[in-house]
Amino acid sequence: MRKAEISRNTKETNVFVALDLDGDGKGEIATGVGFFDHMMQLFLAHSRYGITLKANGDTQVDFHHTVEDAGIALGAAFAKALGDKGGITRYADTVLPMDETLMLCAVDISGRAHLNYDVVTYTEKVGDFDCELVKEFLLAFVRNAGITLHFKMFAGENSHHILEAVFKSLARTLRKATDIDERLKGAVPSSKGAL
């Protein structure tokens, strides 16, 4: 059962995540940050994971704490649900078109946290959402999930499309990387025998 629940409660936010890596693409997203909720709904649909993400944060200040803490909690849940990572495919990549945007996402579920985010948005905000918060979310996620994640934008003009391509490509890449490879017979996919 590749499932986990994480609660993160601070003076700035209260975040709850329930994650099922073998889910059906259904769940509940409610963070109080409209654009981020939209991106996480896309992530839910394209990963096919089961995800409940609920957050109550100090959005009267701005959205930073809520989005970052959601990344922390989701990353921790991801690591917990994977356990020793036995049997997973481990590596995956996706090149995803979103209208004029073309985005590459590649992942190694390595146990080592690294983010390369070669993505440019041409506006500071989409609606009332600061575009820079996507990188903050991803940094928090990779640090707590223990994964290496690369994004490379090959084309893009519209900030909404660019960020949508980030979340969709992330979802599809993680889905492939966490799929079980039956040939491994439950073994950890590393010559070291551990990740």
Report the 3 state secondary structure along the chain: CCEEEEEEECCCEEEEEEEECCCCCCEEEECCCHHHHHHHHHHHHHHCCEEEEEEEECCCCCCHHHHHHHHHHHHHHHHHHHCCCCCECCEEEEEEEECCEEEEEEEECCCCCEEEEECCCCCCEECCEECCHHHHHHHHHHHHHCCEEEEEEEECCCHHHHHHHHHHHHHHHHHHHHCECHHHCCCCCCCCCCC
pLDDT, position 1: 86
Give the count of alpha carbons within 13 A of 3, CB side only.
Answer: 10
Task: Report, as an integer, the average pLDDT of 162-169.
Answer: 98
Closest CA to 87 of 192, 191, 184, 170: 184
pLDDT for 56? 97
Amino acid at site 118: D
pTM: 0.97
Name the token pair of 96: 């995803």
Which domains are seen in the chain, by residue range? Answer: 3-184 (3.30.230.40)
pLDDT of amino acid 105: 99
pLDDT tens string 82-137? 999 999 999 999 999 999 999 999 999 999 999 999 999 999 999 999 999 999 99
pLDDT above 90 (res 27)? yes
Residue 44 CA to residue 27 CA, distance in Å, equals: 7
pLDDT tens for each residue of 41-83: 999 999 999 999 999 999 999 999 999 999 999 999 999 999 9
Token readout for 4 is: 């986990």
| Average pLDDT over every residue of 159-181 | 98
pLDDT class of 194 with cuts at 50, 70, 90: confident
pLDDT at 95: 98
